[in-house]
Amino acid sequence: MNCNVGKTEQAIRITIGAAIVFAGLYYRSWWGLAGLAPIITGTTRYCPANAVFGIQNCKVNH
């Protein structure tokens, strides 16, 4: 798995994911589990959807 999620996108994904999880806990809804997807993709810095669409936000070190 190559990195395809940049640092800014990583922070946004983790923040939004945490907000969704907390909203799910607050409203006692299973929809909060949907917040795990952006948290996982932000933490691993790999997103399968970015790979499918050819989106590369990671800076390449040469």
pTM, to two decimals: 0.89
pLDDT, residue 61, reads 65
* pLDDT tens digits, one per residue of 5-51: 999 999 999 999 999 999 999 999 999 999 999 999 999 999 999 99
Residue 60 has pLDDT above 80, yes or no: no
* Torsion sign (Cα): 36, 37, 39, 41: positive
- Here the tokens at position 51 are 């790979």
